[in-house]
Amino acid sequence: MLVKDVTDDAVTAATRSRNMAKIKSEDTGPELVVRRLIHSLGYRYRLHKKDLPGKPDLVFGPRRKVIFVHGCYWHVHLRYDPSCRRARPPKSNIQYWGPKLERNFERDRTHLSRLAAEGWKVLVLWECELKNASDIEIQIKEFLGPPRPA
């Protein structure tokens, strides 16, 4: 049986570069789903405030609350929920991806700690949780409280 050398990437450097260039950090599909839901519930927010640690996806300034919408793979959801199917470990180039994902995980923890120290409440919504909109809606309402009247 042949064993694949997991130290090498499965594709060429040029192909990997093209693939990585297509990955967005803002306005992702999961983030847009959450934004539409929150807006439909009557909440208003700001996006990606650069002056806050981690540049949260949604910022509710007067409430001092922020929401992050995390992709399960990039933010290492396996560390929080081992049953998450979207957070599979990398299969190739493990010497690169292992430390990269670990840095993402540690950076997220640092940002959450800094936000808490600055008096912000944080809700993290995971990509895999978004399939159940009613559960997410309940979580958001509990986190944000009632929407302000228009």
Q: What values do phi and psi take at 92, rounded to 5? A: -135, 160
DSSP one-letter code for 124: E
Q: What pLDDT is recorded for position 3?
A: 38
Q: What pLDDT is recorded for position 6?
A: 45
- Please state the pTM of the whole predicted model: 0.82
Q: What pLDDT is recorded for position 22?
A: 55
Q: What pLDDT is recorded for position 21?
A: 59
Enumerate domains of the chain plus CATH numbers. 26-143 (3.40.960.10)
Q: What values do phi and psi take at 135, rounded to 5? A: -65, -40
* Stretches in the chain below the pLDDT threshold 50: 1-6
Q: What pLDDT is recorded for position 23?
A: 63
Q: What pLDDT is recorded for position 8?
A: 59
Q: How far apart are CA 115 and CA 118, in angstroms?
A: 5
